[in-house]
Structure 1
Amino acid sequence: MFKRFVAASILSITASGVTVAAPDTFTQYKALSEAKGQKDRVALLKTATELIHSKTLSPERLTYVLHRSALHLVRESQFEQAQYRLDQLKIHLQDFPNTNLQGKYHWVSGDLALLLGNNQSAEFHFLQAVARFKESQDVRMLSHAHRLLANVLSKKRDYFQAISHIFQAKDAALKIEHVQLFYAALSTEARIYRDFKQFDKALDVLNQKLQFQKQQTQTSLVHLSSTYFSLADIYQHLGDHDAALNALQKSYELDAKLNDKNYMGVSQLHIAQQHLRLSNIPAANLAADKALNLFKEVNNTYNIGQAQATKGQIKLANGQFVEAVDLIQTGLAKINDSDNKQLHNRYQSFLGQALSHIRPHEAITLLTPLVDLVDEQIKIRILTSLSHAHKQQSELALALSYQEQAFNYKKKLTEKDMTARLEAKKLNSELGLKSLEVNALQAGLAEQQQDTKTRTVLLASAIIVLTNFLLLFYLYHLKRRRVMEKEAELLNQSLNLKQQLLADVSHELRTPLTVLKLNIEALEYNLTEDPKATYQVLQRRLDMLNTLIADIYELAQADTNNLRLEFETLQARSLFDELLIAIGPIIESPDLQIDYHNQLSDSLQVECDISRLNQVFNNLARNSIHYTDKPGQIKISVFQQQHTIVCTFEDSTPGVSSEALGKLFDRLYRCDKSRSRDLGGSGLGLSICEKIIELHHGAVEAKHSELGGVLIRFTLPLKNTRG
């Protein structure tokens, strides 16, 4: 009630000092608002303000003006004013209810929430809009609401429901033969397939839409430009940045014909991003300048900020860190955090990345609070920048911690992509079953129209099918019996493995648990002179137990064939260079001489899971560091041998005996158990490495090193050489 009273008071107070609008002003405003093509929204918003302050409008007309002006404010990215206008509309509709306009209120509110990244609020509003438009039988707006609801559900990864709503949006558009609505539904369908990682289907839908548009006698340049813009987005996800540039250029040319400088600037901004991905810094800078000038012409502060921040991103890519910081800060000042928090955080991550090179302390202050507030992609950049900033300040432990967190998040994203692909297959299966059901119904209708002879044939077929079914039923049970026998055999093997594993694990846990118990008793009875040191010992022992448990879990996955690898084709030489860079913080030590020799040619390719190979490199590097006396030497070599790539890790003294050398890959085996426990070793690292290399169809072995220590040698097959 108080909110309604305040809004009504504002309207009445402002109306007292404003000239009453002419009676025909509303008619003119309504005609201009609903006119097709480019609209002068600034002028329309000015007229709307005059009408709202006027005393001449009826409740129905005031409802219309509040709704239309809220929509125009959203389109002009004036999000705070749009929310205020929607609050006015909500209060007004409580006094003068209108089912259709209530639907439009929820539709604009959902659109605003979607732009602000509030998907939960957007879903609520679009669901309400669907219900209101169904009640008012406004099929056109119903298609809009279904389409935008599908978009929100896609962001929630509820793809089956999203596809269901997009089909309803297309059906509604076809029902009233509204071509542009149908095209809009196709665009959203393509976007859903994009979010679902089905880029080929998204491309098919957009190309289908483009062909339909070109066949129309009167094609809307606005919608044609939008189609090219969407195509560019799909090409970008497919990694075809040249095709994306071509589509964006066509979109820009169409916007230029319409003289829509705001959308021209948006196209140029995305062109700059594509040039940046292609490492074409001059072209990216030129496109960003064009975008900035266009946004300045239309005085769009929000987009001006984006353009300036993008120019800063380009400077960052070019290594001009001081200029990058200035430009990104200037742009961020124009991008309201409350308008688009995700975009604001994205550019803050670039600002922190630039600061990490010149003012690492400021970078740490800026980025640390953002770690838990951003999505995974931005979080990876923030964690990497924090790692670099701490490294700049010689805080190597923190640098390594953040680098490991970045690696874990990258691994998490890979797992998400794999899950999305599995969900895509499931969705395709469900859609296929729906198609089969439809085909079955159609076949049933055709069968009902057949004559008596056909029925006789069907009856005979049914008898044959029944006979076959009985035969298959018998074979099924026979096969099931054999399967059960095989399962029993495998179960016995699993039980034996489990018993052996439990025996090994209990042996490995006994000593650290005994130490924990003794130290806890010492603390309990005040038998220790330095409690703080005792707590540190307890913490180290607990860390060791955590490491052991994590390694056991990973080996268990490998034993049950649940350790999955994501293979990709990579250039071999650069792959091993990247793996060495990744372990840089681990092997950097003033007391160790690190020699790295990469003799691979640039033409060689290998199929591998880079994250798992990174794990192998980490384990081998840590072993060499831990078991090499200081000062010492570590030598890493990579070379081609026939159809394989060979990588060796060698370290200097101390070495191991020939007997121990043959047992290094045995689970829970350690040459010097006391030393291994002090270093936090679980005795499973080399076993995990062996499993990973075997899954890559390679081999691993241990030898004596000429440097006096141990040589670990593993091989990987070159691409297209496995038999």
Structure 2
Amino acid sequence: MKAIAVVFFALFSVGVFASNQAFDEFKKKIEGQKSPQQRSELLVIANELLASESLDELQTAFVLHRAGLICIREACFDKTEQYLAKLEQLLTTFESLEYSGKLNLSRGNMAITRGDHFDAVDYLIQAATYFDEAQLFTLSSHANRFLSHAYQKLNKYSDAIIALDAALSAALKSENVQLEMAAARQKSGLYTSLDLVEKSLEIQIQQIQKIPYLPKQAQEFWMNDTFWGLAESYASLGDYQKSLDYFSKVYEKDKKLSGKQDIAITLRRMGEQHVSMGQFEQASVYFQESLDILTKLNIPLAVIGTQIDQANMYLRQGMLDQAQNVLESILSQLDQEKNINLFVRASYLLIDVYLQKEMFDRAVQQLQLIEGSKNKEAQQYYGFLSQALQGLGDFENAFAAQNQMHLAYKNQMQEQGSIKTLVLASESEYIAGQYELKQAKAEQALLKAEQALTRYIGFSVVAILLLVILAVLIFTRQRRARLEQEAKHLNQALELKKQLLADVSHELRTPLAVLKLHLEALEHNLVSDPQSTYKVLNQRLDNLNLLISDIYELAQADTGTLTLQLESVPADELFNELAGQVEDILCEHDLHLEVKKVDTPLSELSVDKARLHQVIANLSRNSIHYTDKPGEVCFALSQTESDVILSFSDSSPGVSEQDLPHLFERLFRCDKSRSRDLGGSGLGLSICEKVIEAHGGRISAAQSELGGLKIEISLPKQ
């Protein structure tokens, strides 16, 4: 009997030893970066360990947690939830602050990965609470960084800053350099989203300087992370080619190091840069590759995010029907409360489509759906609302919406200033926190130091505090100066608005008075030739319609809704079309047209041909109205290293040197011979200026060699 017991005990001991050996091997292999193949192999080992039923509670919790993380990385979320559910059940049998926190952290991580940032917040707050209570500072830093990310995606920047400060504090307490770098990198991303790109780049440069001092296995990861940050920063600065170059580097490393979802996200960002540069064919390829990966991984919200980018591409290409179909399908799939960011983003694109297709009633309906979410994009909201109401003929409410848009712009400027100030103040608090931590460590060493050394350190502390106070005072003074400057600009904008309203009122009053007089004369039979009077009335109404149309186009330019249908055309071909247009307009008005162009080959231009025809038509009408007959007009084409130049010159009379700088001001009238009352709106040159600026070009006025006015237009080459 004793022999049987001894054999049984021996067999049991061998089984336990083998199990512990397998567990130790699993722990060793789980550390560090892994390829997809290695992660699959680790899942097999984890399942074998769990099936052996020889692990104790802590070992089982470790395996379940790590297996769940592997599945999150591979985007197999159903398996993740199975492992986490078993971990949750296990925690009912024993108490562990560490694994209670890890359970919530994993669920928060999975929610973020799936795009459910709203659901992630509660999990991550609970995780940070458990880790803080257990004084597990490394894990607390991770939880607070994830929490900051979730808040940022929900546009809760103040909460994001607070969570990030907690992450930085925990990283310092853990004395982990890579954790500090991770928190700093996330702070860099927050700066980029708040348009503090210079500070973001400053942090990234500091990160690059630290990378050579990290372990070799970590250097490649941090270099890839820094490339991503640089790509984001250059995208914010509008340098899309540099941004694309860095995203391409990230993509090459993603294929070696990361999971499939990271590759899909990088492909989508590369597609976005191509769209920004007008390279739609290549963008379409990247978006489709990203969609194929995300669809296989079954991440619906990530799929929708990429589809929204595709719809934006269709909109930029003028493919309005295709953009409308995609966006309406997307909105039907989204929960307006939980997926607020995606819902609002898709809604604004769909509203833009409706406005371009003159479906103004549907635009108003969609605006009503997102009215409660308009705070962040209030300026765009009221701009679209004004445009839609104008299209429906509701000019009174359209004007009210226009006023709300200007008020929203003012509030947005103030809010951005407050958020940026909060971020900078947070950074000051972080620096002070670092100083306090170092001071606490120094105090322990100072217990054994001599009295003279103590006095020296005390003096240094006072000096540093004085420097900090001085820096705060300087920062406060600079901030006050910036706010005063912003207030000055806002006041100038309000004065310009008042002046514009006064000028428009004056322009409308005179023709309306004339209309009233003629109508009264007709009513009382005081005119001998009614047909002639009707002709005058019709002409005056045409002039009023022209003025209203010009004011509407300028309002579009002011609100950023002036859209261009860009296409690539050879400069020669475009010039010949425009010259033919000028000849058709001038041929019946006793004006001789001379056409000049260079013989050297010309580059292609990316332009909206219809808008350029509108500009040349305005210039031609000005020459017809203000040039003595018979007269001359010269239309010329030339080029520089970077621009193609169109010049339009006419013969006398000219414009005085004092009036030249004011020609592009709205409703400006010269006091000399070129101010004849010929029925123009006084807005033609202002519209020309806005159209050319929308093309990225320049327009200027000068004295013409023919004795009249010369308008020169510079358009950038492709």
TM-score norm. by structure 2 comes to 0.54
Aligned match of 1:240: 239
Aligned match of 2:175: 174
Q: What amino acid is the match of 1:372?
A: G
CA separation in 2, counterparts of 1:627 and 1:45? 81
CA separation in 2, counterparts of 1:284 and 1:70? 34
1:566 has 2:563 as partner? no
Question: Does the aligned pair in 2 maintain the 1:146–1:165 contact within 8 Å?
Answer: yes
SS at match of 1:37: coil
Aligned match of 1:99: 97
Looking at both structures, which has the greater relative contact order when contacts are Cα pairs under 8 Å and sequence separation is at least 6? Answer: 2
Q: Which runs of 5+ in 1 are unaligned?
A: 1-22, 463-559, 569-606, 653-700, 714-723
Aligned match of 2:497: 615
Aligned match of 1:676: none
Aligned match of 2:351: 352
Question: Does the aligned pair in 2 maintain the 1:565–1:612 contact within 8 Å?
Answer: no
CA RMSD of aligned residues (A): 5.6
Distance of aligned partners of 1:59 and 1:417 in 2 relative to their CA distance in 1, 3 Å threshold: same
Q: What amino acid is the match of 1:314?
A: M
Aligned match of 1:17: none
CA separation in 1, counterparts of 2:481 and 2:180? 47
Question: Does the aligned pair in 2 maintain the 1:252–1:267 contact within 8 Å?
Answer: yes
Question: Does the aligned pair in 2 maintain the 1:387–1:400 contact within 8 Å?
Answer: yes
Question: Does the aligned pair in 1 maintain the 2:267–2:290 contact within 8 Å?
Answer: yes
Question: Does the aligned pair in 2 maintain the 1:117–1:342 contact within 8 Å?
Answer: no
Deviations 1:611-638 (A, max 9, x none): 5476346533553367445146669999
CA separation in 1, counterparts of 2:365 and 2:453? 84
Q: What amino acid is the match of 2:367?
A: L
Aligned match of 2:34: 37
CA separation in 1, counterparts of 2:128 and 2:228? 28
Aligned match of 1:415: 414
Deviations 1:251-286 (A, max 9, x none): 112113347443233112112222333344344334
Deviations 1:583-637 (A, max 9, x none): xxxxxxxxxxxxxxxxxxxxxxxx9989547634653355336744514666999
Question: Does the aligned pair in 1 maintain the 2:128–2:140 contact within 8 Å?
Answer: yes
Question: Does the aligned pair in 1 maintain the 2:204–2:226 contact within 8 Å?
Answer: yes
Deviations 1:184-212 (A, max 9, x none): 22312323444555332221222222343
Question: Number of aligned pairs?
Answer: 498
Distance of aligned partners of 1:81 and 1:386 in 2 relative to their CA distance in 1, 3 Å threshold: farther
Deviations 1:270-315 (A, max 9, x none): 1222233334434433432443345456565544433333222111
CA separation in 1, counterparts of 2:252 and 2:71? 26
CA separation in 2, counterparts of 1:83 and 1:404? 51
Q: CA deviation at 1:232?
A: 1.6
Aligned match of 1:318: 317
Question: Which of 235-244 and 290-299 deviates more?
Answer: 290-299
CA separation in 2, counterparts of 1:443 and 1:30? 39
Q: CA deviation at 1:402?
A: 4.0
CA separation in 1, counterparts of 2:21 and 2:499? 74
CA separation in 1, counterparts of 2:369 and 2:661? 46
CA separation in 1, counterparts of 2:103 and 2:232? 30
Q: Report percent identity of matched pairs.
A: 20
Aligned match of 1:218: 217
Distance of aligned partners of 1:270 and 1:639 in 2 relative to their CA distance in 1, 3 Å threshold: farther
Question: Which of 440-449 and 309-318 deviates more?
Answer: 440-449
Question: Does the aligned pair in 1 maintain the 2:138–2:170 contact within 8 Å?
Answer: no
Q: What amino acid is the match of 2:175?
A: L
Query: Which of the residues 121, 144, 147 maps onto 2:145?
Result: 147
Q: Which runs of 5+ in 2 are unaligned?
A: 1-18, 463-479, 516-539, 555-654, 684-718
CA separation in 2, counterparts of 1:443 and 1:639? 77
Aligned match of 2:248: 249
Distance of aligned partners of 1:412 and 1:51 in 2 relative to their CA distance in 1, 3 Å threshold: farther
Aligned match of 1:201: 199
CA separation in 2, counterparts of 1:563 and 1:139? 39
Aligned match of 1:269: 268
Question: Which of 428-437 and 289-298 deviates more?
Answer: 428-437
Q: CA deviation at 1:248?
A: 1.2
Deviations 1:87-129 (A, max 9, x none): 7755653443222111112323443565688878756644543
Query: What does 1:57-206 correspond to in 2, within 5 Å?
Result: 60=57, 63-64=61-62, 67-68=65-66, 71=69, 75=73, 89-90=87-88, 92-112=90-110, 125-149=123-147, 151=149, 155-157=156-158, 161-162=162-163, 164-175=165-176, 180-195=178-193, 197-206=195-204
SS at match of 1:210: helix
Q: CA deviation at 1:316?
A: 0.3
SS at match of 2:172: helix
CA separation in 2, counterparts of 1:406 and 1:83? 46
SS at match of 2:486: coil
Aligned match of 1:291: 290
Question: Does the aligned pair in 2 maintain the 1:110–1:122 contact within 8 Å?
Answer: yes
Distance of aligned partners of 1:371 and 1:29 in 2 relative to their CA distance in 1, 3 Å threshold: farther
Aligned match of 1:536: none
Q: CA deviation at 1:322?
A: 0.5
Aligned match of 1:327: 326
Aligned match of 1:367: 367
Aligned match of 2:340: 341
Question: Does the aligned pair in 2 maintain the 1:79–1:112 contact within 8 Å?
Answer: yes
Q: What amino acid is the match of 2:371?
A: V
Q: What amino acid is the match of 2:368?
A: T
Q: What amino acid is the match of 2:415?
A: K
Question: Does the aligned pair in 2 maintain the 1:232–1:244 contact within 8 Å?
Answer: yes
Distance of aligned partners of 1:380 and 1:40 in 2 relative to their CA distance in 1, 3 Å threshold: farther
Deviations 1:146-190 (A, max 9, x none): 433555677442577456424324324535xxx543432231232
Question: Does the aligned pair in 1 maintain the 2:65–2:103 contact within 8 Å?
Answer: yes
Q: What amino acid is the match of 2:274?
A: H
Distance of aligned partners of 1:367 and 1:49 in 2 relative to their CA distance in 1, 3 Å threshold: farther
Q: CA deviation at 1:415?
A: 1.8
CA separation in 2, counterparts of 1:146 and 1:373? 26
Question: Does the aligned pair in 1 maintain the 2:121–2:150 contact within 8 Å?
Answer: yes
TM-score norm. by structure 1 comes to 0.54
Question: Does the aligned pair in 1 maintain the 2:74–2:260 contact within 8 Å?
Answer: no
CA separation in 2, counterparts of 1:649 and 1:44? 71
Query: What does 1:542-621 correspond to in 2, within 5 Å?
Result: 564-566=484-486, 612=494, 615-616=497-498, 618-620=500-502
